[in-house]
């Protein structure tokens, strides 16, 4: 049982290592135009400040009409 568990852990570790090694490292975006590189840089810089907001309103069970959800997006300005 211990040998099987060690084998599974080793397989998982190797699979994860191979997968991570295949991911591009920052700055290795080959083949991107200057405009695409600019877009990627902007996204990396400000993506943590962007929010997605979804509001749901509880409906009245006596009404057959379902409440309409509200969805929006925005950013955090500090």
Report pLDDT digits (tens) over 16-55: 766 666 666 665 556 889 998 898 888 888 887 877 777 7
Identify which of 29, 47, 25, 26 has the alpha carbon closest to the alpha carbon of residue 37.
Answer: 29
pLDDT of res. 14: 59
The per-residue pLDDT for range 44-71, each reduced to its tens digit, is 888 878 777 777 776 666 766 666 677 7
pLDDT at 40: 87
pLDDT at 59: 66
DSSP readout, 36-68?
HHHHHHHHHHHGGGEEEEEE--PPPTTSSSPPP
Closest CA to 14 of 25, 22, 2, 3: 22
- pLDDT for res 67: 64
- The helix/strand count (H/E) of the chain reads as 2, 2
Question: Could you give the CA distance from residue 54 to residue 68 in angstroms, rounded to a whole number?
Answer: 11
């Amino acid at each position: 049982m211990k040998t099987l568990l060690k084998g599974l852990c080793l397989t998982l570790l190797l699979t994860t290592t191979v997968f991570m090694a295949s991911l591009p490292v920052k700055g290795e975006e080959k083949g991107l135009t200057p405009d695409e590189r600019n877009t990627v840089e902007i996204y990396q810089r400000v993506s943590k400040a962007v929010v997605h907001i979804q509001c749901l309103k509880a409906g009245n069970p006596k009404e057959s009409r379902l409440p309409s959800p509200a969805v929006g997006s925005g950013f955090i300005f500090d």
